[in-house]
């Protein structure tokens, strides 16, 4: 039985539905993300799952028990969930240990102490128990918030943009730590974020949201390589589209020559399509058939992301190993090396 079943829920404010027939489920131990642009309804969906917002339609089942339906909202404290928000919301007048112990009032004092020590350890805060929140860095405070949410051993942890206030490096490190910690504790999680890297670093499955709906529910790998809509293709990763004409279900004629893909195109032979080209689909090759001019470059450390212009004026992105250091205006040669070619109906 799934741990959480969200079935066709709608929620909103006044007459406006900002979550619209949303469905997904989570198995025990799974970590998923709801990923989408600001305003698409992620927080509202999470608050409905937490029991802070009623649903107008549909239902939410936790471990098989009805938690939400129109007219029914089991309160948050009876859902066995933990929550972590963007602002750490720690109690400033309590020490770190007291913050973590906050939800453990019913536990015998001895067990409470063991659990607090365990979480201080697990979140890398062993020496910090007696300090106060203002004596900690942002990253450390967010670890305390995490420890506090995990202390009562929820079966499900809900996280709303928990890392957005942290700098990039810390964000990446904490995302991985959170994933490892949840997996080690056997706790399922839902992360809500507008940041694809964060979602990918943490999740087994990701739901890409737009206007209150999930457009695609899939693994990070499939979202990147097999987006099934143009919105997902645009929102996830980088890439550009080039026009083509379908010559067979797997081949397209384009200005880059005849391209072959491994996924059938549903458009009929002869139809116009647009084909997604990712930066890793175009690789540098001195013998390559494609000649292009360097229009822009962005140094990424191990790689350089070049914006290349084809003779027709079409611009594509290409990732070169960092020692291929070209100047703007240089001519370079590349070839296509794509396993997954994704096409969408052409735009006239």
317 binds, among Mg ion, ligand ADP, none (CB under 5 to 8 A by kind): none
Tokens 């619209």 map to which residue? Answer: 20
- Min dist. Cβ of residue 44 to ligand ADP (A): 3
Among 3, 5, 31, 41, binds ligand ADP (CB under 6 A): 41
Q: Does 44 bind ligand ADP (CB under 6 A)?
A: yes
Contact 321, 295 (CB under 8 A): no
Contact 29, 193 (CB under 8 A): no
Q: Does 42 bind ligand ADP (CB under 6 A)?
A: yes
- Min dist. Cβ of residue 85 to Mg ion (A): 10
Which residue number, 200 or 241, has a Cβ lying nearer to ligand ADP?
Answer: 200
Q: Is the dihedral of CA 32, 23, 237, 280 positive or negative?
A: positive
Alpha carbons 146 and 159: distance in angstroms, whole number? 9
- Min dist. Cβ of residue 192 to ligand ADP (A): 6
Q: Both tokens of residue 192?
A: 């809500």
- Min dist. Cβ of residue 247 to Mg ion (A): 45
Q: Does 43 bind ligand ADP (CB under 6 A)?
A: yes
Q: Both tokens of residue 2?
A: 């799934």
Which residue number, 160 or 267, has a Cβ lying nearer to ligand ADP?
Answer: 160
Q: Both tokens of residue 47?
A: 């608050």
Among 6, 31, 40, 290, binds ligand ADP (CB under 6 A): 40
Q: How far is C-alpha 133 from the chain's CA centre?
A: 29
18 binds, among ligand ADP, Mg ion, none (CB under 5 to 8 A by kind): ligand ADP
Residue 127, SS3 per DSSP:
helix
Contact 294, 306 (CB under 8 A): yes
Among 1, 13, 106, 313, binds ligand ADP (CB under 6 A): 13
Q: Does 171 bind ligand ADP (CB under 6 A)?
A: no
Element (H, E) at 201: helix 196-202
- Min dist. Cβ of residue 197 to Mg ion (A): 17
What is the bridge-based pairing of β-strands 4-13 and 57-62? antiparallel
44 binds, among Mg ion, ligand ADP, none (CB under 5 to 8 A by kind): ligand ADP
Which residue number, 160 or 281, has a Cβ lying nearer to ligand ADP?
Answer: 160
Alpha carbons 266 and 32: distance in angstroms, whole number? 30
- Min dist. Cβ of residue 257 to ligand ADP (A): 41
Nearest Cα neighbor of 319 from 259, 278, 274 is: 278
Please report, as ranges, the residues that interact with ligand ADP according to CB under 6 A: 13, 18, 36, 38-44
């Amino acid at each position: 039985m799934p741990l959480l079943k969200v079935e066709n829920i709608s929620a909103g404010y006044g007459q406006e539905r900002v979550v619209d027939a949303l469905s997904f489920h989570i198995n025990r131990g799974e970590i998923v993300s709801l990923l989408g642009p600001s305003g698409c309804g992620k927080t509202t969906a999470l608050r409905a799952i937490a029991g802070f917002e009623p649903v107008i339609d549909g239902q939410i089942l936790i471990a098989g028990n009805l938690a939400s339906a129109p007219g029914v909202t089991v309160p948050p404290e009876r859902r066995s969930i933990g929550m972590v928000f963007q602002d750490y919301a720690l109690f400033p007048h309590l020490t770190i240990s007291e913050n973590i112990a906050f939800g453990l009032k019913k536990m015998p004092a001895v067990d409470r102490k063991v659990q607090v020590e365990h979480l201080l350890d697990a979140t890398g805060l062993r020496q910090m128990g007696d300090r106060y929140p203002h004596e900690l860095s942002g990253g450390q405070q967010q670890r305390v918030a995490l420890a506090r949410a995990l202390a009562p051993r929820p079966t499900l942890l809900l996280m709303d943009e928990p890392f957005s206030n942290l700098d990039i490096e810390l964000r990446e490190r904490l995302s991985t730590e959170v994933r490892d910690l949840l997996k080690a504790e056997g706790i399922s999680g839902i992360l809500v974020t507008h940041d694809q890297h964060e979602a990918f670093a943490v999740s087994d499955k990701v739901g890409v949201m737009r206007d209150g709906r999930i457009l695609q529910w899939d693994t990070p790998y499939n979202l990147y390589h097999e987006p099934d809509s143009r919105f997902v293709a645009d929102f996830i990763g980088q890439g550009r589209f080039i026009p083509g004409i379908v010559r067979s279900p797997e081949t397209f004629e384009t200005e880059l020559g005849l391209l072959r893909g491994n996924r059938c195109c549903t458009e009929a032979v002869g139809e116009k399509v647009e084909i997604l080209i990712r930066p890793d689909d175009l690789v540098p090759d001195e013998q390559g058939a494609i000649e292009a001019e360097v229009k822009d470059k962005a140094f990424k450390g191990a790689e350089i992301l070049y914006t290349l212009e084809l003779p027709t004026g079409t611009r594509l992105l290409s990732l070169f190993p960092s020692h291929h250091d070209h100047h703007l205006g240089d001519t370079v040669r590349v070839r296509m090396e794509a396993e997954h070619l994704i096409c969408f109906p052409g735009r006239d």
